[in-house]
Chains A and B, each alone.
Chain A
Amino acid sequence: MKKEPSPSSSKAASSSSLSSASAVKQQNGKKRKTSPTSKPEKREFYLGTFLVGNAWSTSKGSGYVKPGDTICVERESPDEARPSKSDTKGKGKGKQATLFSMLKPQVKGGAAKKAKANTIVRLTNERGFEFGRLPQDISSWVSKLLDHDIITFKGSTMVECEVPLRTGSDLVVSLSVYIRPSAFKRYEASSSESSTPKFWSNEGAETEHEERLRERKTALRQLFERLDIKPSSGSNADFDEASYTSSKKENVARPTKATPLVNDVDADENEEEILSENELDVIYKRAQANDAAMDEMEPSSEFALTLRPYQKQALHWMYSRETGAASARASHSLHPLWAEYMFPPNPSNGLIDLTVDEIPFYYNTHSGELSLDFPRAENLCKGGILAYVYLLPCLYEILGMGKTIMVSSLIQTNRNYTEEELAGPSADQRQNKKKQLKLDAAFRPIKSKQTSRRSRATLIVAPASLLDQWCSELQRSSKKGSLNAFVWHGQNRDDLETMVDTNDVSDVVITSYGTLAAEHARLEKSSKNVPIFDIEWFRVVLDEAHNCKSRTSKTAKAVFDLKAGRRWALTGTPIVNRLEDLYSLLKFLDFTPWSEHSFFRSIVTLPFLNHEPKAIEVVQVILESVLLRREKSMRDKDGKKIVDLPSKEVVVEELQFTSLERSIYDSLYRVAKTKFDSLTASGMVGKRYTHILAMLMRLRRAVLHPSLVLEKNENEQRSTENIDVNELIKQFDANTENGQNESYAQTVIEGLQEDEECPICFYVMEEPMIIPECFHKSCKDCILTYLLKLSEKGEDGHCPTCRQGPVAEDQLLEVVRDRQRLRQTSVGIEPERQPNEEGQSNGVGFTIRKNDFKSSTKLNALVQNLRRLQDQDPCFRAVVFSQFTSFLDLIEIALQRENLEWYRLDGSTEIKKRHQAIAEFNKPSRKPKIFMLSLKAGGVGLNLTAANHVFMMDCWWNSAIEQQAIDRVHRIGQEKTVFVKHFIIAETIEGRILQIQKRKAAIVKEAFKGQGSTDSESLENLKIMFEE
């Protein structure tokens, strides 16, 4: 059962009422009979007075009542005995019957029903004679309040009536409302049904008890409205209570409606709105308001690195969260479900005593509870969310905040269970109980050993690509021998139990979400113990915790079943698109009451869907206590930026298609546009949405390289192997009988090692091509241009030097040099001729291959940029991103041809290889290295700060994704200026993508998820795509 951080112990209520009761209490002795059950020391608070103009008389004659008379308000029917005159307060028979109908079957059903409908509220004179009744619209809720023992009426007066009375005539009465002490009792305590969940449960229909709670709440709300009582301060002050009662709010007020929805949330998740940037901003603002003033904490001496001030703050916060020390971040927030009200001064005797302090009281707008104590927003879970990234574009400066370091320092600093914990039942046993209740023990054979073994190890769950990085980072940040971490992942994972158990030497176990989900499947299938879920971890840390944002996913379920005393979720995006995203994290953290989905949904999700500001506010308060958010642009208490990263220069290089590429692209575009136009005309865009997306995808490929869209009918056998130089010479000799040529071919090949001039452009040949027939050379561009010119004239290709032919483009031999030495850009007309440095191993310094690889504008641009880079910095490191692995394939060939050392990581790369690749790439070396990444696989987690050049080969719909990718390089640890280059082809779809990116980046991402969604935003985006 959920424990609601809640208000009032009745003890507190009574003590506070004792302290200041006397002033108000004096003057109401007279009407005591309406409320004789209340003990005198329990104070009744004046709440306000309201006029009822349409009460009506039930009697005839004079002497019963006249204007100015004091009147009483009673509830029970005159036919029934008035056992004590007392009882307006409440044990209204009808209600009683309802309440206990289940327990007391002897009460006739019919009577109960009738009683339920009874809302009669009687007006009596001081002698107890009934002379009239309240009108139905008032009595409907007044009766409830009286029944629930919440209010009483004292000092009410008859304002106007006919004398003598006539039956049915109008009465105008003034009613003064006092709130009874019993109202502040915890409501469920009085009920025998206390095992029923207090909040709208996920167990199905509303119980009687819940119905009563709801009645009470509705009645209270109407009372507040009638008395014009508004929330006075606290987080709810700016929240319009009046609107709360309006129909808009009904969804919150009608949890019965919400309950059935809970079971099939996924079905209607699509309807949920995506948070706008502003909303997210607002949400987070609160969560970090106090951060600058937070205390700092030194890490344990075992920790090998030095923390920055903001990291020390974070450590302090995390440590406090774990040890349960007083809130590191002062939490003065009112619990989100509560609103604060002030008791109005009691006007009795016509005097208002201004010296009396205003007394606040609190009203739970969700449950209808009342309290005199300040209901503080708090939580019981040990752990929290470490958000290190902003979620939406524009503000993306945030990755690389050193979350690994933070976790490492926390592991080092807080390693032991508190004595209290060791003494008491493990946190986990408590949890177990709860789980058993929920998960229905019948379905799961009870495990032999119910007491799970407690480990002092921390379990880290991370995406597979990051496992090794975690491991090495943890080692790096710890003094030697002080921390044992191992990766538990892959096919041959060892017996976790023995590893963790036997000698208890492991401090950290690192595993992947995939492994966890697989283990969980094992758990669900068999009755066997599955160690990872059996061990109670000292601490569980989820890296990239948004991996389990969908609470119904296997991963999420597995994560929820982990046992641990301390829980942390690290994520760049606690809320990806929807407030619901947050739920899984709260669930993992076991952050009650929010970890109950139905509760979360009715308090947060549904109100948000109804555009209620309250929802955002609730989330704010939740986050305030549980989330520490770090972003690069945040400043510490001295106003310094908490992270000082080197600057980043972003350049967009606009390229022009070659005419061939242009014609290919244009024809594709025309087809797509025609299709789109006809679909628009017939209103079918929505239905064929995915089809259009596919066409767009083709266009985006066409921009990169024509062969990505062309039919692969020709044999695409590209030679990736180099041609043996000696073999080539031999071949040439065989073809020419002239003995002289033997040395000639040799000379030609040898000459390649020098900077030779192209006979056509007179430049030193950057990429010499050899014409196989005659061994004449030319640079690539020149010979290709010449051959093209000849073919335009309808002539066969031939060598420009000796006219030998025919020469075909793909027969040319390409010479790829090892770009080893610093090339001096020749400024003068006469280039300095330098002998090439000795090529390494093969002693040749170049390789020769057939020119059967067709490049593209973008590819050429990349290659040229890389060459330039190499000239400037012979050992540069660059990262190349594309979202198309097929394009990466082509880039791979291009880099190979350039003889550049490259590494590649995409979705299909094995974990081990990923690790290797990253390690190799980061290794210092005199050679340039290039890392190719698919945008999706490489967008998160990786640390590639060795590089400081980034090339984005294509643009993504959502610039935030691109930004995350760039931040692989531009993050803590980066010491140089980061240069980012986007390649964009002019007058293509890419320009429009940029346009959309700018237009509304957050929405776009959603719009193009392509689930057949047809909201206007995505259609709008499509129109941009095909605009003229």
Chain B
Amino acid sequence: MAALPKRIIKETERLNKEAPDGITAEPHEDNLRYFDVTIKGPGGSPFEGGTFKLELFLPEDYPMAPPKVRFLTKIYHPNIDRLGRICLDILKDKWSPALQIRTVLLSIQALLSSPNPDDPLATDVAKHYKENEKEAIAQSQEWTRKYAVAG
């Protein structure tokens, strides 16, 4: 593998130094492009109280190509499927090299606060949210307690 670009080193460094609220990102020792990420469920959201684990991988042509991010913790969210894949435009065609790991993770955190059932990835969850939002939120809270709370 080619030497790690300075940008990645810097980003890692800054994530460590001044981590955004509720977010951690730690690179693997044997692969500095691979990060273990945790995001705390934002307050007021159905995911409050939970700590979600994600994995983040920076591909070879990062930052020209977007990072690959996936939830490891099961989550009941219309834009996140059962495999943890996230439906977020900046991770796809709206990626810009001016974005960073930090901004990506903050976006994901924001996505937790405001699920968008109109652009679903997990169609059944989206449907649930659309038809009976209350029940769906309860379901999300349930899953959060079940999977995202330690102990």
List B82-129 residues whose CB lies under 8 Å from chain A.
94, 96-98
Partner of A761, one of B6, B94, B96: B6
Partner of A786, one of B6, B94, B97: B97
Partner of A759, one of B5, B9, B98: B98
List B52-75 residues whose CB lies under 8 Å from chain A.
63-64
CB–CB A829/B96 < 8 A:
no
List A765-793 residues whose CB lies under 8 Å from chain B.
776, 778, 782, 785-786, 789
Task: With A785-B64, A789-B64 as known contacts, state yes or no: A760 contacts B98, CB within 8 Å.
Answer: yes
CB–CB B96/A803 < 8 A:
yes
**Complex contacts, B7 vs chain A, CB 8 Å:** 760-763
A830 to B10, CA, bound (A): 8
Residue of B nearest to A831 (CB): B10
CB–CB A801/B98 < 8 A:
yes
Shortest C-beta distance, B79 to chain A (Å), equals 21
CB–CB B10/A762 < 8 A:
yes
CB–CB A830/B13 < 8 A:
yes
List A802-822 residues whose CB lies under 8 Å from chain B.
803
Let me know if A128 is at the binding interface, CB within 8 A: no
Partner of A763, one of B6, B13, B64, B96: B6
A513 to B38, CA, bound (A): 83
**Complex contacts, B13 vs chain A, CB 8 Å:** 829-830
Let me know if B11 is at the binding interface, CB within 8 A: yes
Convert A736-766 into 0s and 1s, putting 1 for each residue whose CB lies closer than 8 angstroms to a CB of B: 0000000000000000000000011111000
Let me know if A514 is at the binding interface, CB within 8 A: no
Shortest C-beta distance, B92 to chain A (Å), equals 12
Convert A931-957 into 0s and 1s, putting 1 for each residue whose CB lies closer than 8 angstroms to a CB of B: 000000000000000000000000000
**Complex contacts, B97 vs chain A, CB 8 Å:** 759-760, 782, 786, 800
CB–CB A786/B9 < 8 A:
no
CB–CB B6/A760 < 8 A:
no
Task: With A786-B64, A789-B64 as known contacts, state yes or no: A829 contacts B98, CB within 8 Å.
Answer: no
CB–CB B64/A829 < 8 A:
no
Convert A953-989 into 0s and 1s, putting 1 for each residue whose CB lies closer than 8 angstroms to a CB of B: 0000000000000000000000000000000000000
Interface hub of A759, A778, A789 (most chain B Cβ within 10 A): A759
A759 to B63, CA, bound (A): 10
A763 to B6, CA, bound (A): 7
**Complex contacts, A760 vs chain B, CB 8 Å:** 7, 63, 97-98
Q: How many of chain A's residues touch chain B, expressed as a range?
A: 10 to 19
Partner of A762, one of B6, B94, B96: B6
Partner of A829, one of B5, B9, B63, B94: B9
Shortest C-beta distance, A755 to chain B (Å), equals 14
**Complex contacts, A800 vs chain B, CB 8 Å:** 96-98
A803 to B99, CA, bound (A): 11
Convert B2-25 into 0s and 1s, putting 1 for each residue whose CB lies closer than 8 angstroms to a CB of A: 000111011101000000000000
**Complex contacts, A829 vs chain B, CB 8 Å:** 6, 9-10, 13
**Complex contacts, B64 vs chain A, CB 8 Å:** 785-786, 789
**Complex contacts, A801 vs chain B, CB 8 Å:** 96, 98
Residue of B nearest to A789 (CB): B64
**Complex contacts, A785 vs chain B, CB 8 Å:** 64
A789 to B96, CA, bound (A): 11
Shortest C-beta distance, B25 to chain A (Å), equals 16
Shortest C-beta distance, A912 to chain B (Å), equals 49
**Complex contacts, A763 vs chain B, CB 8 Å:** 6-7
**Complex contacts, B9 vs chain A, CB 8 Å:** 829
Shortest C-beta distance, B91 to chain A (Å), equals 15
Residue of B nearest to A801 (CB): B98
Shortest C-beta distance, B125 to chain A (Å), equals 30
**Complex contacts, B63 vs chain A, CB 8 Å:** 760-761
Shortest C-beta distance, B110 to chain A (Å), equals 18
A732 to B97, CA, bound (A): 24
Shortest C-beta distance, B15 to chain A (Å), equals 12
Convert A502-529 into 0s and 1s, putting 1 for each residue whose CB lies closer than 8 angstroms to a CB of B: 0000000000000000000000000000
Residue of B nearest to A826 (CB): B6
Task: With A829-B10, A829-B13, A830-B13 as known contacts, state yes or no: A761 contacts B98, CB within 8 Å.
Answer: no
**Complex contacts, B98 vs chain A, CB 8 Å:** 759-760, 776, 778, 800-801
Shortest C-beta distance, B4 to chain A (Å), equals 11
**Complex contacts, A782 vs chain B, CB 8 Å:** 97
Q: Identify 14 new A-B residue pairs, CB closer than 8 A, beyond the known A763-B7, A785-B64.
A: A759-B98, A760-B63, A760-B97, A761-B5, A761-B6, A761-B63, A782-B97, A786-B64, A789-B64, A800-B96, A801-B96, A801-B98, A803-B94, A829-B9
13 A-B contact pairs sorted by A residue (CB < 8 Å):
A759-B98, A760-B63, A761-B7, A762-B6, A762-B11, A776-B98, A782-B97, A786-B64, A800-B96, A800-B97, A803-B94, A829-B10, A829-B13
* Interface residue ranges, B against A (CB under 8 Å): 5-7, 9-11, 13, 63-64, 94, 96-98
Closest 3 A-B residue pairs measured CB to CB? A762-B7, A800-B98, A801-B98
